[in-house]
Structure 1
Amino acid sequence: MSQRHSQKDAYHLILEAIDVGVYKPGDRLVESDLAERFGVSRTPIREALQRLETQSLLERDGRSLIVASLDHNQMSELYQVRRELEGLAARLAARHATEEEIKVLRDMVIADDALVGDPQALSRANRRFHVQIHLASHNRYLVQQLDLVHRTMALMATTSLAVQGRGEIAQSEHNGIVDAIEARDEDAAEAALKDHISIAFMTRLKQDADIRERS
């Protein structure tokens, strides 16, 4: 395996581990431990860590690198950007999505209804659903920007879908988004997805307030 491929693999291996919660905000990442865990030499691990730090997914704690965490202002900024970009993706999906892509979105909503009682599984399914809308926009630059936004979402230790009743509501919202895309109603698709993100943000704010009160 070439060093170029090793570096690429190391980056995605660490990124995936953060995304699925193996490494959580505040966790310290050590080159030697990561190299042993993933079976990759320390040089590509070091390059991958540098890349993740540049993307603000890792931050310095003295001489150590730790998984970054988001404060209230950063979370607000992230949701603001996500709302606008996701809304644009839904608008473009209503314009450009193929019939097959719309069918896949519809099938995802139906299948994901069975996951409502499992917040972590539903969270992963939610990510897949949103990525499918991004791809249906048929705009590679928008997809790239949304990919970075969704990576940063992994820095949140909890999912808003764990809040009582949120899973069912989110699924209903997903169904409405697909309805609008299928109807080729660009305004309705954009509005539905923006509202979906706004409600998710409000749910997370309430969730964080409850956590602070209990701590």
Structure 2
Amino acid sequence: MREAILTGRFAPGQVLSENALAAEFGRSRTPVWEALHRLEIEALVERAPRGVRVRTSSPEEILDIYEVRITLEGAAAKAAAERATELDRTRLRSAQQAMIDAEDTPEAKAAANRRFHEAVWTASHNPTLVDLLRRLNIHLVRYPTTTLTHGDRWDAVLREHEELLGAIEAGDGESARRIAEHHMFGAREVRLRMYAAGEHPEN
């Protein structure tokens, strides 16, 4: 059910019936109710007169999410610089190379970018940070258009990721934090411009 919401199969504002969901997923109403309760806690659905509906997110709410994500991404990058193992650094290099080699499609670029960020989170060795960042990211991947194809954003992302990798490999936590925060500020600014133009971006 979460995947159906995140991929847009269940659209924002769509009312979800427990009976219909139970039939679609081949489950009784009890696990469906439990799943809907979890999704409500995650703020992906909300109570409606006829059951629950998929929540819609306003530009203001998304920007609020970015405010928090900027801080958390900075903290994760700093921790990664201070705690990353050799295996972590190898995985980060591999994730960066996968971005460089990614197909020139919005979907491929967005997926490669998420894998890079997830590798940074993992390298932080801070489960609480990872959990919070994953929860925040759930609300951003619901939007079908990525900021990564806007103007020269992709080239900027690759360059900033390379700078972040350099700081992590050097064990420079403060530089890593500063670079990660600047990187997410840039993503937020692109998102603002896309909203102003009537687009609804992801990442």
Task: Give the secondary-structure state (helix, strand or coil) at the position aligned to 2:94.
Answer: helix
Residues 171-202 of structure 1 show CA distances to partners (whole Å, capped at 9, x for unaligned) of 22222211111111111111111111111111
Is 1:47 aligned to 2:37, yes or no?
no
Of the candidates 108, 129, 148, which is equivalent to residue 116 of structure 2? 129
Match of 1:92 among 48, 64, 79: 79
RMSD: 1.9
CA distance in 2, matches of 1:33, 1:126: 35
Aligned residues: 199
CA contact 1:91–1:187 (8 Å) conserved in 2: yes
Q: CA deviation at 1:157?
A: 4.4
Identity of aligned residues (%): 38
The list of structure 1 runs, each at least 4 consecutive aligned residues, that deviate by more than 4 angstroms after superposition, is none
Q: Greater helix share, 1 or 2?
A: 1
CA 1:38/1:122 → structure 2, altered by over 3 Å: closer, same or farther?
farther
Counterpart AA for 2:171: R
**Would the alpha carbon gap of residues 129 and 19 (structure 1) be closer, same or farther in structure 2, given more than 3 Å must change?**
farther
Looking at structure 2, the residues matched to 34 and 121 of structure 1 have their Cα atoms a distance apart, in angstroms, of 30
Contact 1:69/1:156 (8 A) holds in 2 = no
2:45 pairs, out of 53, 58, 75, with 58
Question: C-alpha displacement at 1:169, in angstroms?
Answer: 2.0
Q: How does 1:49-198 map to 2 (within 5 A)?
A: 49-115=36-102, 117-198=104-185
How far 1:99 sits from its partner (Å)? 1.0
Pairwise CA distance, 1:116:
5.6
Of the three residues 19, 39, 48, the one matched with 1:32 is 19
Point out where structure 1 has 5 or more consecutive residues left out of the alignment.
1-13
TM-score by length of 2: 0.88
Shift of 1:15: 1.7
Q: Is the 8 A contact 2:78 2:173 kept in 1?
A: yes
Which runs of 5 or more residues in structure 2 are unaligned?
Answer: none
Deviates more, 1:53-62 or 1:93-102: 53-62
The answer to whether the 8 Å contact 2:84/2:123 transfers is: yes
How far residue 42 of structure 1 moved from its aligned partner, in angstroms, is 2.7
What is the CA-CA distance between 1:153 and the residue it aligns to? 1.7
